[in-house]
Amino acid sequence: MNKNRLYFLIPLLIIILSGAVLLSLGVGEMHLSIEMLPGIFANKDSMEYGVLSQIRIPRTLLAISIGGSLSLAGVILQGIYHNPLVEPYTLGISGGASLGVTLVIVTGINSLGMITLPVSGFAGALVTIFLVYFLGFRRGSVSIGRMLLTGVMISFISSSLILFLMSVTEVENIHGIVFWTMGSLNESNSYMVNGMVAVSIISLAISYMFTTPLNALRLGNNMARHLGINSQQVITFLFILTSLLTGTCIAVAGVIGFVGLIIPHISRIIAGTDYRYLLIVSFLCGSIFLLLCDILARTIIFPNELPIGVITGITGGITFLIIVSQPKLKIKIN
């Protein structure tokens, strides 16, 4: 990949993201044009300012941070596992988080406060992370194949337990479970929004410190060791980092699929496989994708709103099929 092209690509993605942000702030039941924004921010007592500050800005920030985080987690996991089908949810994290939320809703603990759902989702994700790592640990080292299989099995078990709980609970609880598992960016709690933004930026900064090991792992674990890279430690650390990042995303917004699967492949097609550029491009592309999907979810059946997970599933699935069917657009990891 030509470096000059990459230097042009990243600013272009930032410009596209900025345009998507302005579109997201303006679209809705109350239309707000770009020209109106300075006056709205100057008059903090207006209804328009309340709509921006309490609904649209938090939603936009969540779309950027969660979209970028899921894509970042996906591109790292696909790299360390050398598998194009791995995504943040493949390791069972979404299943564990969903099971935790389902238990809270069925038992009625969620009535204690809104924070109980994110906390239970994150707790379920943590339990899954521990199980995947513990069961994947064999003979003093982590087995990538065992971790993947363990994650898939945990997903199946969690899904079965969720269906069981839904079959024995009240109808009102079923609606809450289904709504949460389809994903939503309707979180207005400033602490959770700011926390998600901070976690995404910190995770991007930390992962960028591992660009050299990630590039070495493209050659295989054995070759990476010959280059002086402790592949086991790198894989373990990045697994924990991406898992915690994914768990945070799920805790805040529920399950939003396909972002961590399809965006890393698109990023490799346009930016190559060098992680010095791939991490940033993937983060930006994920932010743009989820932000545009959120805009579509809010407008396609206006004034009603579709769950964002439905939009990401449809658009992501179609895009993935297009990539697979085109011989020139090869899915690649190395």
Rg of the chain (C-alpha set): 20
Higher pLDDT, 255 or 143: 255
> Is 257 in contact with 320 (CB distance < 8 Å)?
no
- β-strand partners of 250: none
Task: Kindly state the tokens that stand for 291.
Answer: 């932000």
Q: Give 130-171 pLDDT, tens digit per residue.
A: 888 888 776 666 677 788 888 888 888 988 998 898 888 888
- 165-200 pLDDT, tens digit per residue, is 888 888 888 887 888 788 888 877 888 899 999 999
Backbone angles phi, psi at 137, to 5 degrees: -85, 120
Sequence-separated contacts (24+) of 155-159 with Cβ below 8 Å? 155/89, 155/90, 155/92, 155/94, 155/95, 156/95, 157/95, 158/92, 158/95, 158/96, 158/98, 158/99, 158/128, 159/95
Long-range contacts (CB closer than 8 Å, 24 or more residues apart) made by 192-195 = 192/118, 192/252, 193/58, 193/61, 193/62, 193/252, 195/248, 195/252
In tens, the pLDDT along 295-334 reads 998 888 777 788 898 899 888 888 888 887 776 666 666 5
- Do 104 and 117 touch, CB atoms closer than 8 A? yes
pLDDT of the residue at 65? 96
Q: Is the pLDDT of residue 281 over 90?
A: yes
CATH numbers and ranges of domains, the chain: 3-325 (1.10.3470.10)
* pLDDT given at position 12: 93
The structure tokens listed for 23 are 């579109």
pTM of the model: 0.89
pLDDT above 80 (res 213): yes
pLDDT of residue 142: 67
pLDDT higher than 70, residue 13:
yes
pLDDT score at 141? 67
Please determine, for residue 219, whether its predicted confidence score (pLDDT) is greater than 80: no
Please compute the mean of the pLDDT values over residues 16-38 and round it to a whole number: 83
